[in-house]
Structure 1
Amino acid sequence: MRISARLLSSVVQRRPFYVTTPIFYVNAAPHIGHLYTAVVADAIQRFEKLTNPDCKIIFSTGTDEHGTKIQQAAARANQSPQDYCDAMSKEYRDLFKEFHVEYTDFVRTTEERHLRAVKHFWKELKDQDYIYKAKYSGWYSVNDEAFVPEAHTREEVTDDGKVRVSVESGNKVEWTEENNYMFRLSAFKTHLKNWLKTDGVVQPAKFHNQLQEMVADDVYLPDISVSRPASRVHWAIRVPDDEEQSIYVWLDALVNYLTVCGYPDDELMKSRGRPWPADVHVVGKDIMKFHGIYWPAFLMAARRAAPRALLVHAHWTARGAKMSKSAGNAARPRDAPPAAARALRYLLLREATLADDANYSETKLINTANSELADTLGNLASRSTGAALNPRAEFPALPDPHAAGAAQLARCRSLQPTQALMRELELLPEICHKHYTNYQFYKAVDAVIRVLHLANLFFETLKPWELKKKPECQKELDVVLHITLETLRICSIILQPIVPDIAKMVLDRLLIPENARNWNDCEVPSWNLKDAVHETKKIQSGKFVLFPRVYVDKGERKASAKTG
């Protein structure tokens, strides 16, 4: 069994594998981009469990509930900030449940355990003399909840006249002068450079290079404000021993990764296997600076290890523009056509390449669902397990190569579609293992779909519906069914991190035991095994529809029925 390099350290040290999403800001309902971050992290932790079922996983997500934007959103909703946050946080939990995001910890910044962690972390920074009080002035973006260096702003002309905006986000900035606490970020330039020298600490390489350029540029490394006057930001955690100041929302939010570990309670952290540092932080490229500069610097100042890796992903766009709550173009998962919603997780992991933006549309969702889940995978599964071709509901054994039936096996294996399918299926686990390890989910799906296309070609070439009519061809039919079902078994094990619910349906249909669905169970096809090849097994009987085709309207359904 293979063990990924990033998991090896966890195994050797008997520590959990710790993967995170950022905690999501609750100023509006979740959109496709938030779901994408969550399913990427979920796919990572599912793959780790497949490759090492005994590894303990900590997978954290949650909601960021403090700051000016939350105050404003709650006021617009005519709710108290806490009631508003409770409702919005529930939306995220419900969404993740619907799309099979199996986190182990959901943290909220309004929780008591998090408040303790943030205040303790602040004191650690203060005790190390990395926090000091000073008068601060600069351009502040309410939408980004961040001060923006003047060199990274520009003037724009709008209907309201000239305004200054952030070059990075396009959001409006306002000149702000106030007494704040400052963090000595400038003291960590060399430390950050050294951290970023580690190969693979930021993936993909495109974003690693960008972070290295930022750290080399002094514009990104001035001392930064880590508090705001409580009179301006009252919905926030107060600075210890200074009720007139609120802790900067990003410092507050980033500490959530330690909160999950049991920090600052050393006994609690020990009982959880001392999971820090995190193995993988999954973040969008718009918050890369906070996770790739501020967060490791905060940790270094507190004399704690920086994260082992950042996995940064690009954005999902709508009509070519970045999805944004403030811009009003955010596609929400709940807005997807109900019949196609089950395919949304598949589309997100199948289409995006991490390094480049991907464009979302309902048309793409429906076409992908029909072409790959309904036709390529679903149709093959229903035909090979249905009563018409498999009335005994069996996963037939391959004929003993030294007994009656060997001729049928030999004839079937001599055909080019059979040879192509068997060859590619034997290589598939190794290919997909590499893609998963490199977080290239779309390549893993590409490889699986290619094999499933070969399986459909094999099925059509061998014509099992004709073999079914001839009793003398039963052995040959068994060969066809075995190879087809073995293809479905292996492909479904591999697809579990991508579409856990759909993969489970196929594996349940084939009556594959729960303890036989791990990665090493798919590495060797049955025809390469010396044991258990000649044992016929039962599968579930009855009608089986894995994924119904999605029809835009009734007319399309009728037209399909007439031509089908």
Structure 2
Amino acid sequence: MMRNLHLVRSFCSQIKPYSFVTTPIFYVNAAPHIGHLYSAVIADAIHRFNGLVNRPQSSHSTSIFCTGTDEHGTKIQQAAQNHSVPVATYCQQISDRYRGLFNNFDISHTRFIRTTDQDHMLAVQHFWKALEATGNIYSAQYSGWYCIPDETFLTESQLKENDQGIKMSAESGHPVEWTEEKNFMFRLNCYQDDVVHWIKGCKDRVVPEKFQKILLDFLQDPLPDISISRPKTRVSWGVEVPSDSSQSVYVWLDALVNYLTVAGYPKEEFRQKWPPTVQVLGKDILKFHGVYWPAFLIAAGLEPPKQLLVHSHWTVDNQKMSKSKFNVIDPNERAVLYTPEGIRYFLLREGVAHSDGNYSDTKICRILNAELADTFGNLLSRCCGKVLNPEAVIPVVDRASLESLLAIEATQRMLDLLHELPEKTRLNYQQYNFYLVVDCVIQMLHATNNFFETTTPWKCKGPDGKPKLQTILAVTMEVLRQTAIILQPIVPRLSGQVLDKLNVSGDHRSWCDLKVQFSQRERPLADSESVLFRRIVLPKTETPVPVSKAKKVKTKS
């Protein structure tokens, strides 16, 4: 039954001048780990790239990036009880840890939302009333298998038994319990065809493609109506159902509405910002964002998100990350050794959305030393060091010297790559292939280091050699300028450090500034350190793998 198909069709033709990027909001039943940070750095890179490319065209243009914490439900009640603290205190403590983590890693969110925020709880109740007004909510006596860790009811086909004969979720492996209670139900089945049409209606609705196929396969079977409330006797920590004070709103309905809250819902002006342009989420919550969320929105007469970007998970030394294995990676802990920028770089350089990534201290040390310290950092030091650049300037290109250098194959190769770099990296950013952005930049920097070695600027002695030396330095600094602009979404601090050193003003660091432009006059370098990234030495118990033996081959997502 396609009750709102005409509405779904009209959604695809609407274009608005904005960028609205979201992460999922993170459940506060435990402290943040590297998987949570991965979602945040992906969304942050998208948000920063959009800012570089899309300068505001009018006062109505807007850019939103939201993240935050999900703080209601049974799991939170239990976690607070286990820590012997009031539930509100527990939520505040864990939420603060997420906020601190994101601040430490320069996650440039425009709103950090908590589901305990007053405006959010009002938005949830208003959204409930909107669903109720259209006849999509009804009361029923519900019985079924309930999984507390996953906060969801499961059908028999979604269950399995372990060796002890205990029933558990086939997907997550978490135990379930039989529950019978009065619930409010949502008519999910009525919107199944609408959701399928939404998924198929626009190109790249769900990316990578494998996750769109997973969704459509799931939607081949009829969807049962879903329970969207819990008795307050069982779940007291939640948003109260506006029409029944004995019930709490289902934690997933509550959580998903956070995206509406950020846009300003239910105030009418929220429509200027709605819907999100891309919602970043982990593969484990695909069903909630790819089925329930668009169904809720369509039922309320609202447009679903433009796109879902689904990413895979992280293993640690090729093992699943879990508390029982004591291998959960705390990003703040690792940042002491690798720096926040180093970890951002590693996650976006090694992460591939369609497949699980593997974290290891050996690998991150090898990559950061080889690429940030030895390739990027060394090139900056060579150009700015006193040996070759005692006057600490950005020199002017000598045309005759440049013509001579162009006869060298290494020069031509480097400049060819430089002219191709903006367009290639732009396309890779737009396809969320951050690792390919880095591949292009590292290839560019390798070619420039080769140019530097081939042209031997240290042999340019005396007045006769100075024009050639200055030209080599100027050309190399132009490469550094462009690569630093391109890498801003991935490593904003390091990129800023390079651009500051090269005295690039703040209003000349956008994508439109990626045109080869040599300085027309000699300018001083900034009086700041030329060391970009210091080499990392692991404790003696760790032996880094040689670069040649640890190269990772990736396929395009």
Normalising by structure 1, report the TM-score: 0.90
Q: Are 1:20 and 1:60, in contact at CA under 8 Å, matched by a contact in 2?
A: yes
State the 1:513 CA deviation. Answer: 0.7
Which secondary structure state, in structure 1, belongs to the residue aligned with residue 479 of structure 2? helix
- Corresponding residue to 1:486 among 466, 478, 485: 478
For 2:379, the equivalent position in structure 1 comes to 380
Q: CA separation of 1:128/1:543 partners in 2, compared to 1, >3 Å: closer, same or farther?
A: closer
Aligned residue number for residue 561 of structure 1:
none
1:300 pairs with 2:298: yes
Matching of residues 69-80 of structure 1 within 5 Å = 69-80=75-86
CA distance in 2, matches of 1:543, 1:266: 50
Match of 2:48 among 39, 46, 49: 46
Residue 6 of structure 2 corresponds to which residue in structure 1?
A: none
Deviations 1:395-431 (A, max 9, x none): 11112x4xxxx1x222211111111111111101110
State the shift of 1:176 in Å. 1.5
The residue correspondences of 1:63-142 to structure 2 (distance < 5 A) are 63-142=69-148
Ranges in structure 2 where 5+ consecutive residues have no aligned partner: 1-10, 544-557
Aligned to 2:224, the other structure's residue is in SS state coil
User: Which residue type is aligned with residue 516 of structure 2?
Assistant: P
After TM superposition, give the deviation of residue 251 of structure 1 in Å: 0.3
Deviation at 1:15, TM superposition (A): 4.0
For the Cα contact (< 8 Å) 2:362–2:542, is it kept in 1?
no
Matches within 5 A, 1:236-315: 236-267=238-269, 269=270, 274-315=272-313
Equivalent of residue 451 in structure 1, options 422, 444, 455: 444
Report which stretch shifted further, 132-141 or 294-303: 132-141
Is 1:501 aligned with 2:504?
no
Report if the CA contact (8 A) 2:34-2:331 is conserved: yes
Query: Which position in structure 2 is the counterpart of 1:526?
Result: 517
1:438-493 Cα offsets, whole Å, 9 max, x none, are: 111110111000111111111112222222x4332101101110111001000000
Instruction: Describe how 1:197-236 pairs up with structure 2 within 5 A.
Output: 197=200, 198-218=202-222, 221-236=223-238
Whether 1:398 and 2:397 are equivalent positions in the alignment is yes
- 2:20 is matched with which residue? 18
Q: Find the counterpart in structure 1 of residue 193 from structure 2.
A: 190
Residue 354 of structure 1: how far off its partner (Å): 0.5
* Counterpart in the other structure of 2:167: 164
Find the aligned partners of 1:84 and 1:108 in 2 and give their Cα distance.
13
Q: How far does residue 328 in structure 1 lie from its aligned partner after superposition?
A: 5.2
Question: How many residues end up aligned between the 2 structures?
Answer: 526
How far apart, CA to CA, are the structure 1 residues paired with 2:168 and 2:439? 41
Instruction: State whether residues 28 and 325 of structure 1, in contact with CA within 8 Å, keep that contact through their aligned partners in structure 2.
Output: no
Q: Which residue of 2 aligns with 1:540?
A: 526
3-state SS, counterpart of residue 501 of structure 1: helix
Residue identity matched to 2:445: L
Secondary structure of 1:140 counterpart: strand
Q: Which of 35, 38, 46 is equivalent to 2:37?
A: 35
Contact conserved, 2:394 with 2:525, CA < 8 A, in 1? yes
Instruction: Give yes or no for contact 1:385–1:541 (8 Å, CA) kept in 2.
Output: no
Q: Hey, what's the Cα distance between the residues in 1 that align with 2:541 and 2:207?
A: 46
**Percent of aligned pairs with the same residue?**
48
Q: Deviations over 1:484-535 (max 9, x none)?
A: 100100000000010001000000000001111000101x2126xxxxx532
TM-score (norm: length of structure 2)? 0.91
Supply the distance in 1 between the matched residues of 2:150 and 2:127 (Cα, whole angstroms).
Answer: 23
Q: Confirm or deny: 8 A CA contact 1:386 1:541 kept in the other structure.
A: no
8 Å CA contact 2:501, 2:528 repeated in 1: no
Indicate the residue corresponding to 2:547 in structure 1: none
Kept in 2, the 8 Å contact 1:350–1:445? The answer is yes
- Shift of the 321–152 alpha-carbon distance from structure 1 to 2, 3 Å rule, reads farther
- 1:217: how far off? 2.1
CA distance in 2, matches of 1:138, 1:14: 43
Kindly state the Cα deviation for residue 324 of structure 1 after the two structures are TM-superposed: 4.4
What secondary structure, in the 3-state scheme, does the structure 2 residue paired with 1:129 have?
coil
Q: In 2, Cα distance between the equivalents of 1:152 and 1:538?
A: 66
Whether the aligned pair in 2 keeps the contact of 1:227 and 1:248 (CA below 8 Å) is yes
* Paired residues of 2:335 and 2:343 also in contact (CA < 8 A): no
Separation (CA, whole Å) in 2 of partners of 1:320 and 1:163: 28
**Cα gap change, 1:70 to 1:326, in 2 (>3 Å):** farther
More deviation, 258-267/122-131:
258-267
Contact 1:374 1:549 in 2 (8 A): yes
2:490 and 2:193 map into 1 onto residues whose CA distance is: 39
What does residue 430 of structure 2 align with?
A: 437
Distance 2:476 2:525 in 1: 13
Q: Per-residue deviation at 1:77?
A: 1.3
Mapped to 2, the partners of 1:361 and 1:163 lie a distance apart of 34
Per-residue deviation, 1:368? 1.1
* Partner Cα distance (1:163, 1:482) in 2: 69
In structure 2, the partner of 1:4 is: none
Match of 2:508 in 1: 516
Cα deviation digits, residues 9-43 of structure 1 (max 9, x gap): 99x96643111011110111100010000010010
Distance 2:76 2:529 in 1: 50
Q: What's 2:536 paired with?
A: 550
Q: Quick check: 1:340–1:550 contact (8 Å CA) kept in 2? A: yes
Question: Secondary structure at 2:263's aligned position in 1?
Answer: coil
Two-structure CA RMSD over aligned residues (Å): 1.9
What is the DSSP-based 3-state SS (H/G/I as helix, E as strand, rest coil) of the residue aligned with 1:453?
helix
- C-alpha change, 1:474 and 1:366, in structure 2 (3 Å) is same
Inter-partner Cα distance in structure 1 for 2:219 and 2:333: 40
| 8 A Cα contact 2:168 2:174, kept in partner | yes
Output one character per residue of 1:40-91: Cα deviation in whole Å (capped at 9) or x when no partner: 0010011111011225211111100001111111111111111111111111
Contact 1:383 1:389 in 2 (8 A): yes
Task: Give the Cα–Cα distance (whole angstroms) in 2 for the partners of residues 473 and 14 of structure 1.
Answer: 56
Residues 32 and 98 in structure 2, CA contact (< 8 A), matched pair in contact too: yes
Matched to 1:331, the amino acid is I
DSSP 3-state at the match of 2:497: helix
